[in-house]
Structures are given as C-alpha cells and as structure tokens.
Structure 1
Amino acid sequence: MPVSGEDVPVTIPRGPAREAAEDELSKGIYHRDDPSLLERALNWLWEKFDHLMDTASGATPGGTAGLVTIVVVVVLLVIALRLRLGKLRAQPTTGTGLFADAPRTAAEHRATAEEHARHSRWSEAVRERMRAIVRSLEERTLLDPRPGRTADEAAAEAGRALPGLAARLADAARTFDDVTYGDRPGTPGAYAALRELDTEVQRAKPRLTESGTAAPGGSRP
C-alpha cells in the first residue's frame, strides 16, 4: 500500500528536540504567573522556619503551645529589659574625649551652656556645662590638662582632690556619657544639677596633702 506524504512520520533527533522544547518553554507567556525571586526566597525561609518550629515543638513540653509561650515570655523579658536600661550607650572610642574642638576657657563653656539652655537645647547644654566643670578643674590645677580625657576619667581624678564631691562628679560624668553616647536627651533637671555642681566645684577647697599642697587629681609626668 503506497504511503502518502502526509503519512510519513517526522523524526527529530533528541538533542535538537530538547533544545526546541526548552526554547519554547522559556518564553514569557509560560511564566507570567510564576512567583518572583523575592517570593521564592520568602517561601523558602518560611519553610525552613516552619520546619524549625515543628522540630522545636516536638522537644518542648506542651508542644507548639508550650513553645509559643516560651517565645512570648522571652520577648516580654527583652522589652522589659530594654525599657529598664534604655538604649545601650556606645563606649567612647579610643581618643574620644570631652573636648572635641579648639581649647576654650571654663567661662566660655559656661556661656555656651547657658545659651543652649535659654533655647531649651538641653543635651547641648549638659555637654557644655560638663566641659565647663572639667576645664575649671584644669584651670585650678586640680586636674592636669590632658587631651583625650573622658568624662569618667576626669570625674575619678577630680574626686581624689575633692572627695566630698566625688559621687556627684561621677553622676555628672554618667549623665554626660548618656547624653553624648547613649542618645538619651538632656533634661532641664539634669542641666540644673550640673550647673549647681559647677558652682560648688568652683567654691570647694581641695584636699590637702601632708605638705600642705592640694592633692592633685591626675598624675603629672
């Protein structure tokens, strides 16, 4: 029986056939409803998290409900700790000190602090008043002028020369650090405390050594 041209089977080698199929399936019309790369990534992460939760719940008393309870308690504890301590302040880096600009007198720092206070810029006022206190101690030679000295170091050294004000000097340094490095806002009350301390530091008589000289706060080279 003769075979017509329409009945002749069409054979395509396997390699070209596969390439033709891949080329056809790569067309955008077949992928319009595919999830985006972000969606696929999120789905993968969710699957991993779901697997982790299933594994953890199997090992936790009470199963999933017990695990959820533990997670909630941990989150509440973290929130409570955050509210209690506030934002953790960054520690001053090496070389960071009280005075970042050109040297100024204690009187100049006080004037700048008062200017900030008049405009309710309490954080700036707190910083400048603390600088005024330390500069005043340096001017009275109760502290040796030293670049890079931090507020904590200045308070500790000054406390040895003025032991009656040591605790308040330490509190003032802590306030300075909280405002400068801990992103805590200055307040009128904090500034008023520093201003009062500044006045008392100016009036305070240093502790005398056996030779009758003022006990130095810092060590001289």
Structure 2
Amino acid sequence: MILARLPLSDPPLDPSGDEARSWLRQELLHPEYHQQNVVEQVITWLQRQVDRGVEAASHAPPLSTFAAMLVFLLLVGGLAWLLSRVRRTARQATVAGPVLADETVTADQLRSRADAALAEGRHAAALVDGFRALAVRQVERGRLDDLPGATAHEVAGALATAYPEQRQRVGGSAALFDQVLYGDRPATREQATVVLALDDELAGRR
C-alpha cells in the first residue's frame, strides 16, 4: 500500500528510520484501514478468493477444479470453526451473572436439589445448585455477607478471605459455575462432585 502511493517516476528512496516511521503513520491514517473489522476483512478476502477460484475453474481441467474446490471448502470449514471458538471464548471471558436466582431457598434445599440432579446424571444442574448451596450455607453461617447480586467471582473472593487455604479450590469452583451456567459448557460428574465435596468440607469447619 505504501509503495503504491509513491510516484513511479521518482528515483529509489533510502529513507532514514524516522522518515520511514513517519510515512507509515501517515499511510495508516487513510480511512480504508479503519472501515472494517478483522472478521469483515476475512470475509472480503474469502469473497475475492471465491471469485478468483470461479474464474480459474472455467479454464482448468475437471480434476483440478474438484481439488481446488475441496481445499477451499476445508479452508472455509476451518475458518468457521475458529471463529466460533473465538466468539465462544470471548463470551465466556466477559459474561458473568449473579450466583443466586430470584428465589428464597435455603442451603439444605439447594443441596438436596444438587444431590438429586447428580443421581439423575444432570451434572450441570448438580454443579450449579451445589455452588449455590455452598454460597448460601456460608451466608447462613455468617462467614459471608448476604449480597443477592454477588457474582461467583465475588463469592470466591470472600470465601478465599475466610478460608485462605482453600483459595485455589474455591476459585476453581467459581470458574466452573460461570462456565457451566453462563458459558454454556457441559459439566462432568467429577466436576460436580468436586463442588459438592467443597461444600461438605466448608460446612464442617467452625
């Protein structure tokens, strides 16, 4: 882009480092560099490749055309998979909601629901209700302040202060809660069991 804007009749240039950086900054100020985001640029590039592929296929043998189409489809599929992973990761990294829903329920009730869900193989529900039981139980025991809108991260921070030796396990359980409830990730039986075991251990402390 930079060289294309220089007059062809000019002699070869040998700019200094400062001059080259200045030219680059001036070039990047042009609006075409700021009109599209990365995804749009990729889509535009793919459209160009499709147009070129169609034009080239009209003059190529059938076997070569088939091979080119196959490679192109693999590239498109790989790009779609990559974009879906990026969007999902971004959503998981930014989305966080409160631990408790708008309901009045005791820790024992939540734990009973978690145990029932675990027995039925509903591991995600067991993990979510298990972490909620853990949080409510610590509120009932006076180890946490009653903050209805608290996020899992905030609950984990408060629990880590109350139980510093369990900081890693508490943080891991809170991360699993967010990933399962707000990140649409599946949960395993082992993950749900880890959260329930942490509730049991903290419940037995004085």
| TM-score of the two chains, using structure 1 as the length reference | 0.55
Change in Cα spacing, 1:127 to 1:53, as seen in structure 2 (3 Å) is same
Q: Deviations over 1:50-75 (max 9, x none)?
A: 26999xxxxxxxxxx9xx89x95xx4
Q: Deviations over 1:124-143 (max 9, x none)?
A: 11100000010111111111
- Counterpart in the other structure of 2:189: 188
- Counterpart in the other structure of 2:95: 92
Number of aligned residue pairs = 144
* Counterpart secondary structure, 1:184: coil
Q: Please tell me the root mean square deviation across aligned C-alpha atoms, in Å.
A: 3.6
Q: Return the alpha-carbon distance in structure 1 between the equivalents of residues 158 and 193 of structure 2.
A: 23
Determine if contact 1:130/1:173 at 8 Å carries over to the other structure: yes
- Counterpart in the other structure of 2:8: none
Determine if contact 1:127/1:176 at 8 Å carries over to the other structure: yes
* Counterpart secondary structure, 2:102: coil
- Counterpart in the other structure of 2:102: 101
Q: Return the alpha-carbon distance in structure 2 between the equivalents of residues 161 and 47 of structure 1.
A: 59
How much has 1:159 moved relative to structure 2?
A: 0.3
- Counterpart in the other structure of 1:174: 175
* Counterpart secondary structure, 2:191: helix
Q: Return the alpha-carbon distance in structure 2 between the equivalents of residues 147 and 114 of structure 1.
A: 23
Q: Return the alpha-carbon distance in structure 2 between the equivalents of residues 133 and 195 of structure 1.
A: 8
Change in Cα spacing, 1:52 to 1:150, as seen in structure 2 (3 Å) is farther
How much has 1:203 moved relative to structure 2?
A: 2.1
Question: Where do 1:120-135 residues align within 5 Å?
Answer: 120-135=121-136
How much has 1:48 moved relative to structure 2?
A: 8.9
Q: Return the alpha-carbon distance in structure 2 between the equivalents of residues 187 and 176 of structure 1.
A: 12
| TM-score of the two chains, using structure 2 as the length reference | 0.59
Q: Deviations over 1:88-109 (max 9, x none)?
A: 244336xx31111312111110
- Counterpart in the other structure of 1:113: 114
Q: Return the alpha-carbon distance in structure 1 between the equivalents of residues 113 and 166 of structure 2.
A: 24
- Counterpart in the other structure of 1:144: 145
Determine if contact 2:95/2:183 at 8 Å carries over to the other structure: no
The aligned amino acid for 1:92 is V
* Counterpart secondary structure, 1:99: coil
Change in Cα spacing, 1:53 to 1:152, as seen in structure 2 (3 Å) is farther
Determine which structure has more spread, i.e. the larger CA radius of gyration: 1
The aligned amino acid for 1:100 is A
Change in Cα spacing, 1:140 to 1:46, as seen in structure 2 (3 Å) is closer
Higher helix share: 2
Q: Return the alpha-carbon distance in structure 2 between the equivalents of residues 159 and 182 of structure 1.
A: 23
Q: Identity over the aligned pairs, expressed in percent?
A: 30
Determine if contact 1:87/1:183 at 8 Å carries over to the other structure: no
Runs of 5+ unmatched residues, structure 1: 1-44, 55-64, 206-221
* Counterpart secondary structure, 2:88: coil
Determine if contact 1:162/1:204 at 8 Å carries over to the other structure: no
Runs of 5+ unmatched residues, structure 2: 1-45, 56-67
Q: Deviations over 1:133-178 (max 9, x none)?
A: 1011111111100121011110011101100111100000010011
Determine if contact 1:98/1:151 at 8 Å carries over to the other structure: yes
